[in-house]
């Protein structure tokens, strides 16, 4: 992500629009260049960047937008690209959590100026650590390669026209990634099956929790299967998670919004993010789960939610 920001020529004083609900790497990549991440609220249904709020946050210093395809559901790229085009901004997709997701039949990673994917151990495709940048722009690809390899001129050994970084992936990691890619269709299908099991097992709890939705134009990939409590705050959510933990079920809270974290702390309120990030839970989403496991998780959840 940092490499993509470098390739966008991001400088101190520049502003980049990002959703406040994301993994912190999105904001950090902007900050590494001395630029300012400008936070935007999210949509309640998918927790993805809210296009209407993007418009409100654009200034003369805005250079680009980083929509994040959060938890595997694509951001509204049609709206984001329309706004970017209108204001002359670049768009870098943060596709770290969404390998294989689609917008109107087009894969994420092909929809912006460029896109970044993560191959960290818990992502849909992994090489342990690492990632990739995708673009169909040859000049941009050359620039990315230049900065990836300490800035060495590809035609003149040990000649460095710029200050680059060592962001190369090892061949060993790349080999693992290629083998992972051979199994991606199955991995995505298995995730979809797991999500269906959850949808069925949790349907009776619909008056208590909100299950994942999918926009009409989207194909999501369920990096994480999330549910949102219909009522309460973070304390209630943490109480529910604690109950599940006592039943041997590991869960995680939905990401805290950037504006409440120390490095990006702000007084401003982001009503949707503030409310719904407190109510979201990542349920176990790994491919060894059986139908029985899913039923047991649903029973445990019902046990705490339906307790008077
Ligand atoms: C995992 C993740 C990243 C960062 O990926 P790393 O490979 O861990 O650096 C960036 N953005 C989002 C939304 C992520 O989930």
Q: How confident is the model at residue 201 (pLDDT cuts 50, 70, 90)?
A: very high
Domain ranges of the chain: 2-181, 184-307
Asked if residue 224 has its Cβ within 6 Å of ligand 1, the reply is no
Residue 28 CA to ligand 1 center (angstroms) comes to 10
Q: Is the pLDDT of residue 228 over 90?
A: yes
CATH topology of domain 2-181: 3.40.640
pLDDT, residue 154, reads 95
Asked if residue 127 has its Cβ within 6 Å of ligand 1, the reply is no
Taking residues 150-161, report their average pLDDT. Answer: 97
Residue 43 CA to ligand 1 center (angstroms) comes to 20
Q: Is the pLDDT of residue 41 over 80?
A: yes
- Spell 119-128 as b/e; 16+ CB within 10 A means b: bbeebbbbbe
Taking residues 200-226, report their average pLDDT. Answer: 97
Look up the CATH number of domain 184-307: 3.90.1150.10
Asked if residue 50 has its Cβ within 6 Å of ligand 1, the reply is no
Q: Is the pLDDT of residue 95 over 80?
A: yes
């Amino acid at each position: 992500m940092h490499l993509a920001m470098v390739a966008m020529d991001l400088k101190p004083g520049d502003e980049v629009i990002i959703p406040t609900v994301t993994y912190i790497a999105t904001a950090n990549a902007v900050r590494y260049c001395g630029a300012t991440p400008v936070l935007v609220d999210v949509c309640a249904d998918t927790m993805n960047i809210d296009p209407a709020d993007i418009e409100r946050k654009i200034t003369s210093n805005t250079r680009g937008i980083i929509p994040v395809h959060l938890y595997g559901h694509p951001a509204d790229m049609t709206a984001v690209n329309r706004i970017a085009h209108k204001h002359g901004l670049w768009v870098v997709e943060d596709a770290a959590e969404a390998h294989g997701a689609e917008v109107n039949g087009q894969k994420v990673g092909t929809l912006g100026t460029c896109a970044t994917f993560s191959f960290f151990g818990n992502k849909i495709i992994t090489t342990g650590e690492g990632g990739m940048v995708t673009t169909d722009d040859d000049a941009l690809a050359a620039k990315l390669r230049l900065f990836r390899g300490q800035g060495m001129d590809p035609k003149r050994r040990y000649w460095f026209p710029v200050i680059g970084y060592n962001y190369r992936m090892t061949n060993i990691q790349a080999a693992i990634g290629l083998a992972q890619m051979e199994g991606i269709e199955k991995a995505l299908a298995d995730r979809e099956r797991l999500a269906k099991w959850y949808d069925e097992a949790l349907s009776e709890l619909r008056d208590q929790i909100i299950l994942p939705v999918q926009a009409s134009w989207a194909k999501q990939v369920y990096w994480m299967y999330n549910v949102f409590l219909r009522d309460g705050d973070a304390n209630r959510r943490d109480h529910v998670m604690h109950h599940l933990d006592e039943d041997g079920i590991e869960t995680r809270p939905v990401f805290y919004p950037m504006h409440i974290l120390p490095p990006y702390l702000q007084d401003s309120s982001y009503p949707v993010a503030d409310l719904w990030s407190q109510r979201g839970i990542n349920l176990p989403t790994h491919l060894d789960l059986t139908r029985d496991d899913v039923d047991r998780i649903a029973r445990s959840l019902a046990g705490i939610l339906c307790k008077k």
